[in-house]
Structure 1
Amino acid sequence: MIKTYYCNSNNELKETTSPKDIAEDKKWLWVDLNEPTEEEAKVLVDYFDFHELSIEDATLVQQRPKFKQYDDYQFVVFHALDLKTLEAEEVDIFIGDDFIVTYHKERFEEIDTVKRKLFNQTINLEEPKDILLNLLDDIVDNYFPFIYDIEDKVFNFEDRHNIDISTKSLIDDTFDLRQELLIIKRTVQPMRDLVYRMREGKVLHLNEQQFLYITHINDHLIKQMEMVDSSREMTSDIRDNYISLNSFKMNNIMKILTIYSVVFMPLTLIAGIYGMNFTNMPELSWHDGYYIVLIIMVIIAFIMLTVFKRKKWF
């Protein structure tokens, strides 16, 4: 579907289906291609005459966030986050002095939000660069709920530590959380690099107010990356702590079993000697021999346990 919005010479915002239908002077033009058909996509060539490489990037290949300068326009790729899968959703933007074209193969809530602001006159858009910055701001701001949600999950691990939950379950949850953080980082980090290049490259020729706006967006991306990195470090610490705790418990179990084994070794030796049933074994004819041997075995075990306790082996 293709939608066209334009601002005429009287600063009135109007809507039409195709840029070819505009019959009056315009200050700027916004063409939104939402899940376009092949016929609708031809407007990129027939009306705007964009470079074939930028059209190929927009229509055929999944791109990382990027910024390209052409003769009379710039080509930008932004990534938003899908609400359910956390996968990146691509929107391709062609922007010139008096036009902006947004091309996306899925519905973009951020674009709809900018449209509502535009028609409700809650924002003042003097030129296409203002649309670009507002769209970028909404995309970046929508990263925050995902990042805050994961940060809350990380903090909740401390509460789960006091609940009787298996270490395996906690480790599995930690790895799942780290996987989500990695997916978000794959989107946020390239976007941060892109916005930094847009701000420092001076190719958009932003005015003072627009420069402050993109600096504000860049600050948000820096904060988001710091939150993601902090959460990844915390999950690493949680994982290492639980692995260490599990190893500590296992070592204690092995230590106790080893102590029991060592205590019973001399007792087993005594039992083995008197269990050989040789004829010439004088102790076998003792009337109280059984009880004497049992007492000796108890004394040996008590002495060994006392020595181990004094050495603080358990």
Structure 2
Amino acid sequence: MKVKTKKRAYKATNLPPGTMKYKGKKQSLKTVIDIINYSNQAFTKIDCNDVEDGFNFEGNQQVTWININGLNNLKDIEKLGTHYNLHPLTLEDIVNTSQRPKFEEFQNYFFVVFKMLYFDDKDILQYEHLSMVVGPDYVLTFQEADGDVFDNLRNRIEVAKGRIRSQGADYLMYAILDAIVDNYFTVIEAVGDKIEDLESNIFETQTNNSTTPNQIQDLKQEVLKIRRSILPLREVINRLEKSDNTIINVKSQSYIRDLYDHIIQVNESIDLYREMVWGLMDMYMTIISNKMNEVMKVLTIIATIFIPLTFIAGIYGMNFTNMPELQSENGYFILLGAMFVLFIIMLIYFRNKKWL
């Protein structure tokens, strides 16, 4: 049966550089903006729908974190980019969800793109494009939709836990990246559990169904997608660590260096799990082949046992009248006894050879 494949149309958009075009699938009806403005002594949090509410915190000797949810609302993002003097190419990369993780330095800010991985309320792994613009006293983060891994970070800022309220925008940038990388460990741990469960199921004798190869293939695709999202961040953090931009305080370099060690550990783990997943299919095929070999061995032994018995039955089934055994009164029972003894001898022989 010939499988019909759906034809796909591949077209190059060839838009002018700096043209904003959202390519994701998470559509938001409106832009949701979370604004956190803080210092060592003050804290302000605002939830609003107007990007212009984020224009009033400059020059107040505080750090401002503006988080925007909804990349499909291009006018609001463009308005925010105009106010903070963001390069058109930066705005293009903010809404381009297919952009790989990257790090770029500009005159008055630097720009970081990375992927945020987390499990939603239904325990489904979500992949989200996340961009961050870091200035001297502000941090802008752009998300596709609601839901992130920053709740603990927001709480630390609000209750002044740790050193974050006494640090600048560069430390806030580190804290955001640290929250992203720490959540990578959670994702990697979940993937490891899936691999171990599937490996256990493959070794069970009862597990021999047609869905196992599909499960292995789905897991392989998931691991490759996670690796594609995480691997480039190693280069991003490496460049960030070696940057001599005045926005990054010297004290923050040690934290970024520690973050680089964490992302190396994550990449090593995902490479290990990738090798394990690729070995699952070989393991499954080996187990299926071994089971088939066991079946073939039993059938071969049965056939081998019956070959001499069939040979004897064939000889005495020939239509000759001068065969002396045919005239014997007990010839039939003697022949059956001889065949039975031969059968027992062959079973003992096969057992001694450990073929049974």
TM-score (norm 2): 0.74
Partner residue in 2 for 1:225: 267
CA distance in 1, matches of 2:344, 2:147: 76
**Structure 2 counterparts to residues 43-62 of structure 1, below 5 A:** 43-62=79-98
Change (3 A) 1:283 1:229: same
Preserved contact between residue 170 and residue 247 of structure 2 (Cα < 8 Å): no
Among candidates 188, 192, 195, match of residue 147 of structure 1? 188
Preserved contact between residue 118 and residue 148 of structure 2 (Cα < 8 Å): no
- CA-to-partner distance for each residue in 1:137-179, whole Å, 9 max, x for gaps? 1111112222223333444567668865314466665555444
Among candidates 251, 272, 288, match of residue 293 of structure 2? 251
Among candidates 30, 35, 59, match of residue 70 of structure 2? 35
One-letter identity of the residue aligned with 2:56: I
Partner residue in 2 for 1:93: 132
Change (3 A) 1:43 1:7: farther
Q: Given the alignment of the two structures, is residue 2 of structure 1 paired with residue 30 of structure 2, yes or no?
A: no
Judging by fraction of residues, say which structure has more helix.
Answer: 1
**Structure 2 counterparts to residues 274-285 of structure 1, below 5 A:** 274-285=316-327
1:79 alignment partner, SS class: strand
Gaps of 5+ in 2: 1-31
Partner residue in 2 for 1:212: 254
Preserved contact between residue 112 and residue 131 of structure 2 (Cα < 8 Å): yes
Among candidates 289, 301, 305, match of residue 343 of structure 2? 301
1:183 alignment partner, SS class: helix
Preserved contact between residue 2 and residue 40 of structure 1 (Cα < 8 Å): no
1:206 alignment partner, SS class: coil
1:82 alignment partner, SS class: strand
Change (3 A) 1:267 1:227: same
TM-score (norm 1): 0.82
Partner residue in 1 for 2:145: 106
Q: Report the Cα offset of residue 257 of structure 1.
A: 1.7
Preserved contact between residue 147 and residue 227 of structure 1 (Cα < 8 Å): yes
One-letter identity of the residue aligned with 1:296: A
Preserved contact between residue 140 and residue 220 of structure 1 (Cα < 8 Å): yes
Partner residue in 1 for 2:26: none
Q: CA RMSD in A?
A: 3.3
Gaps of 5+ in 1: none
Among candidates 251, 254, 273, match of residue 315 of structure 2? 273
Preserved contact between residue 57 and residue 64 of structure 2 (Cα < 8 Å): no
Preserved contact between residue 213 and residue 281 of structure 2 (Cα < 8 Å): yes
Change (3 A) 1:2 1:156: closer
CA distance in 1, matches of 2:188, 2:92: 32
For structure 1, which segment, 294-303 or 267-276, has the greater mean C-alpha deviation from structure 2 after superposition? 294-303
Change (3 A) 1:108 1:195: farther
Structure 1 outlier segments of 4+, above 6 Å: none
1:75 alignment partner, SS class: strand
2:100 alignment partner, SS class: coil
Q: Report the Cα offset of residue 277 of structure 1.
A: 3.2
The size of the alignment, in residue pairs, is 313
Between the aligned residues of both structures, percent identity stands at 33
Q: Given the alignment of the two structures, is residue 191 of structure 1 paired with residue 230 of structure 2, yes or no?
A: no
2:317 alignment partner, SS class: coil
Partner residue in 1 for 2:20: none
